Amino acid sequence: MTRKLGYVQAFNEAVRQEMAANPDVFCAGEDIGAFGGVFQSYAGLQAEFGEDRVVDTPISEQAIIGLGVGAAVTGLRPIVDIMFMDFICVAFDQIVNQAAKLKYMFGGSATIPLTITTGGGGGLSAAAQHSQSLEALLCHIPGLIVVHPSNPYDMKGLMTSCIRENNPTIMIKHKRLLGMQGEVPEEPYAIPLGKANVLREGTDVTVVSWGKMVNDALDVANSLESEGISVEVIDPRTLQPLDTATIVESVRKTNRVVVVHEAVKFGGLGAEVAAQIQEKAFDYLDAPVARVGAPFSPVPFSPVLEQHYLPSPDDITAAIRGVVARPGV
């Protein structure tokens, strides 16, 4: 049975159901106990499961991730929360050199069932140190699985898979999707990690996007239908490992691609997606791969400047029209 559920509530339900099913699952983070977390992602869990399984921590990202790594390698399934994605940088040694490496340092004999959750993205006038999209940094680290849901249904299913996974996962919650509503089943379910979702089929151009930008891409695709432009929209859902096969299959059909992300365009994950398409589907391209991303600048605090900074539906529309206008071979 399905019902309307919010993005945050879908996350919370996944955690609650996995905690109820497995006593080895516990949560730790700043203000996640009685307060429920800065975005209420953990609301009510401490009251239900107690202080031993929903642990308020000091303000120390290094300690939070270190706690999670140690607990995971000794057999528990910790979920550790870093309030804002920007603060992951404070704990990069623990993430990059410990969580991501221990399995390899022990010759594959160790499992690290650690889930790191964090809030990413701009749009809330939270300024340069609380608004970044840093998924490309994380996707560059072998040993990490990086997940970025675009809707409540995917949030619950992907979070369930993260908790059950035996390798370190990072769940990115986009802050501008926190209030998004969608149909979500009541029962537990898991969405396979590393499998993209074709949200909308089309024949003229493929748009690959993730997080908040997926919903903007869908709106643009629906709008361009009236102009006779048929847009296929793919949400990778898992950014590392990336489901390149699904993207390439789409490109072979549409022959044109636009990659859209909120992160800075230069060095962003869109460049890697474009490179893989070029390597595996070059002969099918009728136009260069187009990319839409943010300018090479910190996220502004001013709401007016921030809205100008973030990629918009108009930017996506212009990129799609640009690649479609190029004559095919």
Contacts of 193 (CB under 8 A, 6+ apart): 145, 147, 158, 161, 162, 165, 169, 238, 241
Report how far residue 256's alpha carbon sits from residue 216's, in angstroms, rounded to the nearest whole number: 19
Cis check: omega of the bond before 327, within 30 degrees of 0? no
User: Rounded to 5 degrees, what are φ and ψ at 56?
Assistant: -75, 130
DSSP 203-269: SSEEEEE-THHHHHHHHHHHHHGGGT--EEEEE-SEEETT-HHHHHHHHHHH--EEEEEEEESTT-H
What are the tokens at 314?
């108009």
Catalytic annotation, pick one of 130, 148, 174, 261: 130
Active-site residue flag, 308: no
Give yes or no for a contact between 316 and 292, defined as CB atoms under 8 angstroms apart: yes
Active site residues: 130
